[in-house]
Structure 1
Amino acid sequence: MRLPQGVGLIFYFLTKAVFSKSGRYSFMSSRTVLTLGTTLGLGLTPFTAWATPHAVAQPVVANPLLRPAPAQSTASKHTPHQRITPSTHKSTQTTSLDVNARRHDFAYPEAQHEPDATTHLTAERLRARDVTTIRGLERVAPNLTIQSINGTASTNFYLRGIGFNDFTQSNMGPVLTYIDDVAYPYSTMANGQMFDLAGASVTPGPVGTEHGQSDTGGEVHIHTNTPTDTWHFGATQDIASYARSRSEAYISGPLARGLSFRLAGQTLHGGGWQTNPTNGDHLGDADLWALRGKLQWKPDSHTTILLSGHFTQDNSEVVTSVPVARLIGKQAIPHFGSWLQAQWSSRPEFAKLFGRKAGIKPSEHNQFWGADLHITHDFGPVTLTTISAFETEREGEYTDQDGTADAQADTYRTVDANSFTQEVRLNNSNTHDRLQWVVGAYYQRTRMNQRFFFDYTDYTARRYMMATTFGLNQESVSEFGHVSYRLPHGITLWTGLLHELDDRSITGLKSEIFGGATQNFHAESTASNQFAGQVGISWQMAQHALLYYKMSKGFKPGGFTANNTQIQAQLDPFKPETVLTYELGFKSDPIPNHLRINGAAFYNDFHNQQILGTVLIPNYGPLSEITNAPKSESWGFEGTIEAHPFSHLFITQNFGWQRGNFQDFPTVNRAKTNAYYAQHHVWKAINDNFAGVDNGQPKLTLNGSADWRQPIARAYALEFGPDWQYRGSQAITPGGTGFYRLPPYFLLGAHVTFRSPSGHWEATVYARNILNRRYAESGGQATTTYFYIPGEPRFIGGRVSYGF
């Protein structure tokens, strides 16, 4: 007997609903439903379900370029065997249906039981939002701002408003970057490594009691794919506006019993969108290639040894500055007919000074390479982990900071740095024990030499070229421990403690005016001996609801300002920074698989917060100097909402809000000092105390996306939707108003992705800054002008990926 078509459709959707509650339905389970419906004469139309990135059956062959490994959760409930016996079937035959896959419409369900504010990001999400550099993470995490320094590969992080602007990148930042659990003391070292990704995470607040190094602002973790026991390879080609091309490929597989490897690489070319209206020159083309190799050996079921190495060569041009105000002199700043235009200069005499060809454009000439060895052995009751790493940085960087055709603040910087780190951890092996603990130690040694060349030939107060040279030696050792205990009724208590000893010195600093005087400065050193730690309590008040509270103390060592040194006093070390953070948070899935809401509120009590302030050098002018604000505070909240209100629609919204002010911060008021000079042509320090002044960080940041995931004929899949990002105004000098603040901006993007039934290939068309909004990504001062670094215009691109 054949039932009416409407009854068949009702049966299909009822069956689908049962499967959605009991387990993850896959292509095969939908085909089984179709077969069952046909056998029963229900008149089902041909249909095959498609797998969403967070609700997908594991393919026979994984393809890391196309989708991440599905998240696993011991907390998820599912019925491994579901029997359906339709009462409408008149025969005596009974048909059973097995569904063995689990369904998670939201990624990382196990993280919902962890008492922290960490944002976990799948490789799929990073790819969908076109996160191909470290800076792109601010588009997918709350309360996070990552800014390029003068348009270069060097970056500054601000997490919950905690961060500082360090042009020399010779000091440890408040937010550390980790790649595959290796800490990078200088963020520039991570340049070019955002490829072949397995995922990422962003953790705000003081860290260091469970791994790595202590910090005050938090940490960013990048995870790359590891070798596989079966053969896989894949490739991606991405072509976008302004002739930008990005290629990525990998191959992975076994070499011998227990031995496997993975080799991955990327190249990036083109994409330059700035032009010089005076001569038609083009600027901003990328020229980067990077390679990563991994060798994994598992001699037995308890031991894993992973050796990794990477190399990056970056000869990319950089985005140059656009002046917004002249601080010194009467010459008008350039005005352009389009925000895609800019000016820059390069005198042959200056290029010859540092050994580059005449006509050099603002650009990088960088090499980064390193290797690390991970060893893990499970002894039964305990697991031992050791991580040894060596990282190098060889940087040559040219910037035209005044943003004019004159040589008023043209700069070339060379950096020769290396870092060795060693971490040892011991923890209990059974993750189901009530008592969980980890103890360990961490050692870091860095050596750095920098040289800055400056061309002030067209600046009437100087009219010379000069160079500053210095070396930096740093060594630190820390011991840490963390313990948690799970009580009845879903309550868990935990505490952690870290002790760190840091010793660093600046040596051989010389300031040389070519054709003039040379100054040699005495070496300076500073040592820190501090404790950090945390204590907290969490309550799993329901299966899908967690509440936690914790107090954390963070610590960051002191350091030096070494850029453009003129007097010995500029080398006085700034003090260590400490912060006491109070955090109250929750994680919830009020409607499992349909609605997830996570949030946290925080308060930061700073002592000696490290911040870029101002000093006035007599007969020279104001200079930036990292100094300490004796007392400051900040507070705010952040959260993430993920919603799957009905079939096909998935929405993610991150939001962050923070406020802060200085309670005691005596410094030179740069705006008033510059105004006095403009009126009287005499340098006089106008001192001020910024007590009660806002910390200048963006108060509101938002980012999110909406995806419609639509199955189409023959099990193909179509995904499309918009994404967005908002950042509030940000001061580029303490207490800054007017042009001393970066304006707020809102950016809109979109994408359309077409996937094959096998999951072996996909094609995407995407757009970033689709409204072509003009905005400033970062800003600063360069001797005679204040400048903004403009953000990217509209980019429209296409991406094709294949792998098996």
Structure 2
Amino acid sequence: MGLTPRSSVRRRQATRLSWQGRTAAAVVLPALLGCPLDATAAATPQPPHRASTPRSVTPARQRAATPSRPTPVGEDMTVNAARRAFHFSGAQHVADSATRITAATLARHNVVGLTGLQNLAPNVTIQSLLGTASTNFYIRGIGFSDYTQNNTSSVMTYIDGVPFPLSTMAAGMMFDIDTVDIQPGVTGTTHGLADTGGDVNIHTADPTRTWHAGATQDIASYARSRSDAYISGPLTDTLSFRIAGETIHGGGWQTSPANHTSLGDADSWALRAKLRWTPTARTTIQLTGHWLQDDSGVVVGKPVINFLASQKIPTLGYQQANWDLRPQFAHLIGRSADTKPSEHNTFWGFDLNMAHDFGFATLRSISAYETEREGEYTDQDGTTYASGDQYRNIVANSFTQELNLTSKDHGQPLQWVVGMTYNRVRMSQQFYFDFTAYVPLRGYLSETSFRQNQQTFNQYAHVSYRLPYHITLFGGINHEADDRQLLGLRTVHFGINDLNFTNEGASANQFAGTLGIQWQALSNLMFYYKMAKGFKPGGFTGNNTVVQAQLTPFGPETVLSYEAGFKSDIIPNVFRLNAAAFYYDYHGQQYISSYLVPSYGPLGMFVNIPKSEIWGIEFSAAIHPLPHVYVTQNFGYERGKYQKFMALNSTATNAYYTAHGVWQAVYTDFGGVDSGIPKLTLNGTADYRFNPLRHYELETGLDWMYRGSQALVAGGLGSYRLPAYFLMGAHMTFHPLSDRWSATIYAQNLLNRQYFVAGGQATTTYFWIPGAPRFIGGRLSVTF
């Protein structure tokens, strides 16, 4: 908030009343100065100029550079407009089922990383892979588990319109956020790159034309500290800037009784700077740069199965885990002998976003360069044995150029966008393993290294046409060509042998598209139906390689999707309900299965499932029944089934080895088997806000989430399936109506539940990654 005298604050309050209706104000005026939730959480009162642009016409990231502001008026202003009780009113007329989240909602739920977003949307799973900085996304059951991060994700992450084809690059960027959109379904006809699962669009705060500054200090259990600050304002009449930073430390809640260490302490520093130049009223040029240094510890998994009879699973408490690092391995990877499981990552990048309004259309160019330098040590067997220790070193960069032309509305029935996106990735990876305690099968140190080149070119067009009787037809098409090469892959078993493998290549070239209709039956009720074909290119299995067959490229996947839904403000300003039903006909689904190497053991390998299906329903409700009460509820139910799928049965193969000490492949026809995606996801909030003092507000509330069980392998049961879990949180915030400061106390995992968020296999063990216990904290924020 700008530096403004008290009289100006009163004028701003009067201005707010200029867009609130007399009737609505009479009903909900006591809550006017509160902070209602958005359409997927709760909604803050929202002036008309902040309405979202319909995605079928203009991508959300192509917002106006700086929204206009209401003109201050006197305190006797006549109230003559309808009050908007919920956020994103414009999105209620868009034919999609996206979850749109405000910065206030993110703060209320203490979301500071990508994985926290799954608690705010239906049918969404976002998991840290093996407790590391790598992130896997699943929306409506479509996702891709890729530890090596050398393939295209099924769900693309965008930050300020820039695609991040390597999801690890987006780690640590969730600070100074404006909004987040989670878009399910086929993408690629309005922006960016083609994908089968959807988008996660993160919009960070832009420079402002008036001076603003703020700082937040958050301190919580286990000595966790999070500090944020920003400053924004004009340098000249046409030049403005914004600088924001965040640092996070502590919070390590795991301990290791074997070596008396704590695990999981955060240690990260991040900085983002934006410079915006508006040489004319029609032209905007914005340069953004960011940097992140992350030396945080990682959470160690808890083994639930050990395939070696000589290695017993330790009996430990929920917040305990064991690990080891042999001096020989530390010397090999070039790290200190006292290194704990941790990251040592540096990310930096910049993008240039330029837009010019030609009157009939807006031309936009986005150029971006992102880099990744990742050094990560993990103990994947979760024991003191040297049988699953791993270190990976990744050096990668991504260059993206997008150019599009978007029509201006001007009340015309025809709207369109055409564009193209080019992306190029260069990377080199090294994977080190300590197998010295994995005897008699291995018993050595090893290294697998490779280089990969990739380039993708997507051209797209999208058009919508408004017919009489409030009916709109829309459709889009895209063509994507992808080419990638896996080069110089080599595996060294130190003291045993040196394996060199033949280069591999993969290419794909396909069309995809979407077609739909929407009907605005009433001003507060819209129906839509759409169908689409989605496409995602294939790739390679990296990581530990011992035979050429592991490097066989897997093919592209395609999805035929069908979706119908409605959006409604059943009782305006009181009850909003949005719902959708979907069916996905999945062909060539990319799946991490296993390849059994005789006398060695199973190794991960990507395969294509010939045919599978996913269907489900979801709804989001926002309720404001009383002046001080705000309730939201998201509901998602989905089912998946393999229709044609013959694969190695990991459960049976591991069980045979445990019983006989010999690796014997067991294959199973999984046709008709449930795919094991979490069937039920629930999340919601309940808040109560009132004014204990004339110029102050107190907000208190609860939030909750439930996630159904998840199979970790095809047909997985028992240890091969993550149990369902339920979490609850609470918060209380006190702040003046001027919002110059706020004080919050909160609890995460209020009931201190024990739960597990991911799992997998590492050589001798199958393990689960535990979730964080109860955290109690406080947060103080000031703005100027």
TM-score category (smaller protein): over 0.9
What's 2:4 paired with?
Answer: none
SS at 2:320 equivalent: coil
Once residues 638 and 609 of structure 1 are traced to their aligned partners in structure 2, the CA distance between those partners, rounded to angstroms, is 23
User: Residue 644 of structure 1: SS of its match in structure 2?
Assistant: strand
- How far is 1:432 from its partner? 2.4
Q: Distance in 2 between matches of 1:68 and 1:264?
A: 26
Q: RMSD of the TM alignment (CA)?
A: 2.2
In the other structure, the counterpart of 2:711 is 731
- Which residue of the partner structure matches residue 645 of structure 2? 665
Question: Residues of 2 paired with 1:119 and 1:166: CA distance?
Answer: 25
2-side partners of 1:518 and 1:445: how far apart?
Answer: 31
Correspondence for 2:606 among 588, 605, 626 = 626
Q: Is the aligned partner of 1:422 residue 2:404? A: no
Q: Secondary structure at the match of 1:534?
A: strand
| 1:711 counterpart = 2:681 | no
* Contact persistence 2:18–2:78 (CA under 8 A): no
Partner of residue 437 from structure 1, selected from 416, 432, 455:
416
Match of 1:469 in 2: 449
Query: Is this contact kept in 1: 2:395–2:427, CA < 8 A?
Result: yes
- CA separation in 2, counterparts of 1:75 and 1:379? 22
1:202 aligns with 2:189: no
What is residue 393 of structure 1 aligned with on the other side?
A: 372
Residues 24, 55 of structure 1: 8 Å contact kept: no
1:54–1:104 contact (8 Å) kept in structure 2:
no
Distance 2:633 2:532 in 1: 27
- Structure 2: distance between partners of 1:444 and 1:783: 35
Alpha-carbon separation, structure 2, partners of 1:492 and 1:698:
35
Partner residue of 2:294 out of 286, 300, 314: 314
Aligned runs of 1:249-328 on 2, under 5 Å?
A: 249-328=229-308
SS at match of 1:256: coil
Whether 1:129 and 2:124 are equivalent positions in the alignment is no
Instruction: Report deviation, 1:105.
Output: 1.5
1:69 is displaced (CA, Å) by 7.3
Q: 538, 557, 580: which is aligned to 1:577? A: 557
Q: 1:51 aligns with which of 8, 33, 56?
A: 33
2-structure distance, mates of 1:333, 1:75: 53
Distance 1:55 1:667 in 2: 46
Distance 1:171 1:431 in 2: 42
Partner of 2:658: 678
The structure with the largest alpha-carbon Rg is 1
Contact 1:49 1:715 in 2 (8 A): no
Q: 1:75 to 1:389 in 2, by over 3 A?
A: closer
Segments of 5+ residues of structure 2 without an aligned counterpart are: 1-15, 54-69
Corresponding residue for residue 34 of structure 1: none
Matches within 5 A, 1:715-794: 715-794=695-774
Show the counterpart of 2:330.
Answer: 351
Choose the corresponding residue for 1:656, options 636, 645, 650: 636
CA–CA distance in 1 between the matches of 2:538 and 2:659? 37
2:361 alignment partner, one of 382, 394, 418: 382
- The alignment status of 1:192 with 2:172, answered yes or no, reads yes
Would you say 1:543 and 2:523 are equivalent positions? Answer: yes
TM-score, normalization by structure 2? 0.92
Shift in alpha-carbon separation, 1:494–1:49, aligned structure 2, 3 A: closer
TM score, norm. by length of structure 1:
0.90
CA contact (8 A) 1:723 1:748 kept: yes
Tell me how far 1:246 sits from its aligned partner. 0.2
Counterpart Cα distance in 2 of 1:55 and 1:761: 20
Paired position in structure 2 for 1:43: none
Q: Cα gap change, 1:366/1:101 in structure 2, threshold over 3 Å: closer, same or farther?
A: farther
Alignment partner, residue 363 of structure 1: 342
Q: Determine if contact 2:585/2:613 at 8 Å carries over to the other structure.
A: yes
2: CA distance between counterparts of 1:593 and 1:50?
12
Matched residue, 2:66:
none
User: Structure 1: how far apart are the matches of 2:775 and 2:47?
Assistant: 31
Q: Which residue of 2 aligns with 1:22?
A: 22
CA shift, 1:581, in A, is: 0.2
The farther-off stretch of 276-285 and 554-563 is 276-285
1:54/1:106 contact within 8 Å kept: yes
Task: For residue 236 of structure 1, report the CA deviation from its aligned partner.
Answer: 0.3
Aligned-pair distance for 1:752?
0.2
Give the C-alpha shift of residue 562 in structure 1: 1.1
Q: Which of 221, 225, 236 is equivalent to 2:201?
A: 221
Q: Structure 1: which 5+ residue stretches go unaligned?
A: 1-15, 31-47, 57-65, 82-94
Contact 1:67–1:123 (Cα < 8 Å) also in 2: no
- Residue 138 in 1 paired to residue 90 in 2? no
Deviations 1:194-223, CA, capped at 9 Å, x for gaps: 111101010000001000000000000111
Identity of aligned residues (%): 56
CA displacement, residues 468-497 of structure 1 (integer Å, 9 cap, x when unaligned): 000110011111000000011110000100
**Shift, 1:679, TM fit:** 2.4
Which of 129, 134, 153 matches 1:154? Answer: 134
Whether the 8 Å contact between 2:451 and 2:487 is mirrored in structure 1 is: yes
The residue matched to 1:153 in structure 2 has which SS?
coil
| Distance in 1 (alpha carbons) for counterparts of 2:20 and 2:450 | 63
Contact kept? 2:19, 2:81, Cα under 8 Å: no
The residue that corresponds to 2:7 in the other structure is none
Q: Secondary structure at the residue paired with 1:679?
A: helix
Shift of the 67–282 alpha-carbon distance from structure 1 to 2, 3 Å rule, reads farther
Aligned-pair distance for 1:20? 6.4
Distance in 2 of aligned mates of 1:170 and 1:329: 34
Q: State the AA in 2 paired with 1:800.
A: L
Deviations 1:144-175 (A, max 9, x none): 11001110111111100111211111111100
Q: Give the match for residue 118 of structure 1.
A: 98
Instruction: Determine if contact 2:18/2:77 at 8 Å carries over to the other structure.
Output: no
Partner in structure 2 of residue 85 of structure 1 = none
Aligned to 2:62: none
User: What is residue 586 of structure 2 aligned with on the other side?
Assistant: 606
Measured in 1, the distance between the counterparts of 2:140 and 2:268 equals: 31
Cα drift, residue 683 of structure 1? 1.6
Deviations 1:619-653 (A, max 9, x none): 10111111100011110011101001111100111
Give secondary structure in 2 for the equivalent of 1:138. helix
Give distance in 1, aligned partners of 2:88 and 2:248.
31
Q: Give the counterpart of 2:148 among 163, 168, 182.
A: 168
Give the distance between the partners of 2:706 and 2:452, measured in 1 at CA: 38
Structure 1 pair 439–409 and aligned structure 2 pair: CA distance change class (3 A) = same
Distance 1:720 1:432 in 2: 43
1:55–1:104 CA contact under 8 A, matched in 2: no
- Are residues 17 and 592 of structure 1, via their aligned partners in 2, closer, same or farther at CA, if it must alter by over 3 Å? farther
What displacement does 1:655 show?
Answer: 1.0
C-alpha distance in structure 2 between counterparts of 1:737 and 1:19, whole Å: 56
C-alpha distance after superposition, 1:283-324 (max 9, x if no partner): 111000000000000001000000000000000001111101
Cα distance in 2 for partners of 1:70, 1:287 equals: 39
Query: How far, CA to CA, are the matches of 2:124 and 2:314 in structure 1?
Result: 33
Deviation at 1:143? 0.7
- 1:103 positional shift: 2.5
Question: Which AA in structure 2 matches 1:22?
Answer: R
Kindly indicate whether residue 426 of structure 2 is the aligned counterpart of residue 447 of structure 1: yes
How far apart, in 2, do the equivalents of 1:431 and 1:137 lie? 36
Q: CA deviation at 1:23?
A: 7.4
Which residue of the other structure, out of 513, 536, 556, is the alignment partner of 1:556?
536
Q: How many pairs were matched up?
A: 744
Offset, 1:54: 4.2
2: CA distance, partners of 1:652 / 1:613: 38
Deviates more, 1:326-335 or 1:357-366: 326-335
Q: Is the 8 A contact 1:71 1:107 kept in 2?
A: no
Assess, with a 3 A threshold, how the Cα gap between structure 1 residues 75 and 793 changes in structure 2: closer, same or farther.
closer
Counterpart CA distance in 1 for 2:625 and 2:602 is 56
- Of the three residues 318, 321, 333, the one matched with 1:342 is 321
Letter in 1 for 2:594: T
